[in-house]
Amino acid sequence: MTENTEITIGSKVIGGNQPVFILAEIGLSHFGNIDTLKQLVDLVADAGADGIKLQSYSLENRVKYLTESGFFTETEEARICIEPHMLTSEQIKEIKEYAESKNLFFSSTPFDIETVDALDALDIDAFKIASFHTHDKNLIKKIAEKGKPVIMSTGVSELHFIDDAVKVLEEGGCKVILLHCMSSYPTDMENVNLINIQHLREKYPEHITGYSDHTIGNLIPVHAVGYGAKVIEVHLTLKHVPWPEGPHDDPFSKDATEFKELVKQIRDAEKARGVPRKGIYECEQRLVDYTKMFDKSE
């Protein structure tokens, strides 16, 4: 795969000379409210972004994972945190159809094997794999069986885990987009390591690369464009509501105003990146005559 390679997912073309693909993660900020979800979809469409992504899981499996991994110490604590963000298959289907009616890409991150089948039954165009699931061989294998395109974040993962996951997905016929990501919430500037976008592109030249953001503000996702990111994923909320009233991802989510400005800034950054060619550009023509006076000097 070269710098000009494109892949098609559903109605969207990603990579190559296409505009940066801007993906909004709205996995937590909806609190299970279908009207809020639709407002978020409207925001993404009105801002000129390209798609939305949800999070999908079985409540019992998710609670079990979060307590056994030590993320929560008590089962009930995990349940109280997770349950408000649960979406039924019917809700996911409704939002998928609503997003697609707005010409938006739709995907979701399955957190367990059962949910992979449930999402596949909804005929989603692509799966998203969360960073920590690059270690989950069973989940990776299950997703690979579907043969659909995959967007995979690569935080908290050494290269051999990414290698193994990519190999399994490739064997399943999946087209893979790799996102540099730091699994630190929020991510401090000194830990962002945008240079890893280039590192991933050099390591996996056959795949498109991008960036999944967990920083505060718009600076870093805009800079990621200059490092060659073809996909930018950010968390989205209608308005900031700090924890515990709001979701865990509120500090590094973009609110409506920030997101609209971010899309504009990314589009401007794309224009500014340009192409590797030195010479006299059309916008410089009026100064050509001025420079000719120096050509006569010795």
Would you say 246 and 253 are in contact if contact means Cβ atoms under 8 Å apart?
A: no
Model pLDDT for residues 201-252, shown as the tens digit of each residue: 999 999 999 999 999 999 999 999 999 999 999 999 999 988 777 887 889 9
Domains in the chain: how many in total?
1
pLDDT score of 3 more than 70: no
Residue 10: CB atoms within 10 A of its CB come to: 16
CA dist 40 and 260 (Å) reads: 12
pLDDT score of 32 more than 60: yes
Grade residue 1 by pLDDT with cuts at 50, 70 and 90: very low
Q: What is the mean pLDDT of the chain?
A: 92
Grade residue 175 by pLDDT with cuts at 50, 70 and 90: very high
Q: Give which of 116, 103, 95, 74 is closest to 27, Cα–Cα.
A: 95
Model pLDDT for residues 264-278, shown as the tens digit of each residue: 999 999 999 888 888
CA dist 26 and 34 (Å) reads: 12
Does residue 183 lie within any of the structural domains?
yes
Domain of 85, in residue numbers: 6-295
Mean pLDDT in residue range 142-154 = 98
Does residue 135 lie within any of the structural domains?
yes
pTM beyond cutoff 0.85? yes
At 290 the pLDDT is 79
Q: Give which of 133, 187, 183, 185 is closest to 161, Cα–Cα.
A: 133
Mean pLDDT in residue range 269-289 = 87
Does residue 1 lie within any of the structural domains?
no
Mapped onto helix, strand or coil, the DSSP state of residue 231 is strand
Does residue 153 lie within any of the structural domains?
yes
Model pLDDT for residues 119-135, shown as the tens digit of each residue: 999 999 999 999 989 99
Does residue 198 lie within any of the structural domains?
yes
pLDDT score of 199 more than 60: yes
Query: Which CATH number is 27's domain given?
Result: 3.20.20.70
